[in-house]
């Protein structure tokens, strides 16, 4: 085979390979990879940002939230082949050249939106609607945990307060939360929403009182809340004191209060308390065993080996252990509350856009 023929074939093969690479679509193939990887990273960063703000609140530092509002990932594939050659017969030398060029570019654009203004107020400072709290109970989430995490008081029965104004929960509130959980497990609690006078009214009702144990728990709730039979149409509303014996007035917490409640469960270093960097919490009280925090957050100087979520704040690591199912479940519920608090808030225009190479 002559040199001319061999060179021609090499040039044709090289050109074909670059042409195939440039014409093959990478769009559909990138969807499974991008979707999973971006969702995983965004989920982990959401947990870490939330945990960091919980830690900041324990140290009386202002929380800062930065939402990922959009991710635009663009790909570029370029290919080029240069062919040049001079062929002469006889003993005259041949002059030939082969040039190739290829480039692959992955250039995502990520937009961030700081949580400020109206969205900050509605997401963090406004109380969660009582209907959202009882909707989660209706969906099967543990009533005792939901009430302890999201409610300040019901019909004058008050939950514990944390932070600098720490006080324990009233025994009546604890008994109420436990009875509601047993009623929930017995399928004895119902809820419906009706339209009355142009407004949505949330109604609670108790049923299945033929079961003696369930009947006793319903009687406990009726006594503690001060409602009167019949129990098939009890109005649920926001407030401190009910207007009548057919109403349950619920003082719900804001997301900021819930975050502070979680911050109370950080096992902060003892020297941080001694030096006045933070305040004693539930774990530093004598009643820690009888009144455990919603979630246990560890601290230490070394990075944890296994963690559900971990962050570094100043000179220490803070984390939730990956084997602590109770704390992981509570933390997940809290993040769902955050989503409920953001319902109805119009999205803001991204103000920070970073081209990530």
Task: Work out the pLDDT band at 230, boundaries 50, 70, 90.
Answer: confident
Q: Is residue 203 pLDDT above 80, yes or no?
A: yes
Q: What is the pLDDT of residue 163?
A: 66
Q: Do 287 and 352 belong to one domain?
A: yes
Q: Which of 232, 253, 274 is the last residue of a domain?
A: 253
Distance of alpha carbon 84 from alpha carbon 98, whole angstroms: 7
Q: Do 249 and 301 belong to one domain?
A: no
The phi-psi region of residue 328 (left if phi > 0; otherwise alpha if psi is between -120 and 50; otherwise beta) is alpha
Q: Is residue 271 pLDDT above 60, yes or no?
A: yes
Task: Looking at the chain, list the stretches that DSSP marks H as alpha helix, in order from N- to C-terminal side.
Answer: 3-23, 27-58, 117-120, 130-138, 143-150, 171-185, 212-225, 255-263, 270-274, 325-341
Q: Do 266 and 246 belong to one domain?
A: no
Token couple for 170: 């009233």
Q: Is residue 66 part of a domain?
A: yes
Q: Is residue 1 part of a domain?
A: no
* pLDDT single digits (tens) 21-74: 544 556 676 677 777 777 788 788 889 999 999 999 999 998 888 877 777 766
Q: Which of 227, 253, 279 is the last residue of a domain?
A: 253
Ranges 86-100, 116-130, 190-204, 266-280: which has the least confidence = 86-100
Q: Do 132 and 249 belong to one domain?
A: yes
Question: Residue 198 phi/psi, 5° resolution?
Answer: 80, 10
* pLDDT single digits (tens) 153-200: 999 999 988 766 778 889 999 999 999 999 999 989 988 888 888 888
Distance of alpha carbon 272 from alpha carbon 55, whole angstroms: 13
Q: Is residue 100 part of a domain?
A: no
Greater model confidence, 121 or 317: 317
Q: Is residue 5 pLDDT above 60, yes or no?
A: no
Give whole-number Cα distances, 207 to 95, 183, 229, in Å.
95, 9, 12
Q: Which of 253, 286, 313 is the last residue of a domain?
A: 253
Overall average pLDDT of the 73-87 stretch: 59
What single-letter DSSP state applies at residue 349? P
- The position carrying tokens 């990273």 is 41
Distance of alpha carbon 327 from alpha carbon 257, whole angstroms: 18
In sequence order, what are the residues at sequence separation of 6 or more whose Cβ sits closer than 8 angstroms to the Cβ of residue 306?
321, 322, 323
Distance of alpha carbon 135 from alpha carbon 344, whole angstroms: 17
Overall average pLDDT of the 94-110 stretch: 64
Distance of alpha carbon 35 from alpha carbon 39, whole angstroms: 6
Q: Do 178 and 64 belong to one domain?
A: no
Cis peptide before 216 (omega within 30 of 0): no
Q: Please say whether the beta carbons of 215 and 209 come within 8 A.
A: yes
How many domains does the structure of the chain reveal? Answer: 2
Domain limits for position 211: 128-253
Q: Do 165 and 278 belong to one domain?
A: no
Q: Is residue 20 part of a domain?
A: no
Which of these, 302, 292, 170, lies nearest to 284 by C-alpha position? 292
Q: What is the pLDDT of residue 279?
A: 86
Q: From edge to edge, which strands make up the β-sheet containing 66-86?
A: 66-86, 95-114, 352-355
Q: What is the pLDDT of residue 345?
A: 42
Distance of alpha carbon 278 from alpha carbon 164, whole angstroms: 10
Which of these, 312, 286, 289, 284, lies nearest to 299 by C-alpha position? 312
Which contacts (CB < 8 Å, 24+ apart) does range 270-276 have? 272/59
């Amino acid at each position: 085979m002559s040199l001319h023929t061999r060179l021609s074939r090499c040039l044709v093969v090289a050109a074909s390979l670059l042409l195939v690479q440039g014409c093959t679509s990478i769009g559909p193939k990138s969807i499974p990879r991008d979707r999973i990887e971006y969702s995983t990273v965004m989920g982990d960063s959401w947990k870490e940002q939330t945990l960091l703000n919980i830690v900041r609140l324990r140290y009386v530092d202002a929380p800062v939230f930065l939402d990922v509002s959009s991710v635009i990932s663009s790909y570029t594939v370029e290919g080029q082949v240069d062919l040049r050659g001079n062929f002469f017969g006889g003993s005259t030398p041949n002059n030939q050249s082969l040039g190739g060029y290829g480039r692959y570019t992955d250039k995502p654009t990520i937009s961030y939106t700081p949580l400020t203004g109206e969205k900050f107020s509605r997401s963090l400072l406004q109380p969660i609607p009582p209907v959202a709290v009882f909707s989660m109970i209706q969906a099967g989430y543990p009533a005792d945990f939901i009430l302890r995490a999201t409610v300040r008081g019901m019909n004058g029965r008050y939950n514990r307060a944390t932070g600098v104004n720490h006080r324990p929960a009233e025994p009546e509130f604890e008994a109420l939360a436990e009875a509601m959980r047993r009623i929930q497990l017995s399928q004895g609690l119902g809820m419906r929403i009706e339209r009355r006078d142009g407004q949505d009214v949330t109604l609670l009702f108790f049923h299945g009182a033929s079961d003696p144990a369930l009947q006793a728990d319903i009687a406990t709730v009726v006594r503690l809340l001060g409602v009167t039979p019949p129990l098939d149409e009890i109005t649920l509303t926001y407030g401190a004191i009910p207007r009548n014996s057919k109403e349950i007035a619920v003082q719900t917490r804001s997301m900021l209060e819930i975050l502070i409640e979680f911050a109370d469960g950080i096992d902060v270093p003892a020297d941080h308390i001694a030096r006045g960097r933070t305040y004693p919490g539930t774990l530093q009280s004598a009643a820690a065993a009888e009144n455990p925090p919603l979630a246990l957050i560890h601290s230490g100087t070394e990075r944890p080996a296994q963690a559900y979520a971990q962050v570094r704040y100043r000179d220490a690591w803070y984390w939730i252990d990956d084997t602590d199912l109770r704390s992981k479940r509570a933390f997940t519920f809290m993040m769902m509350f955050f989503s409920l608090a953001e319902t109805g808030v119009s999205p803001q225009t991204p103000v920070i856009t970073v081209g990530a190479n």
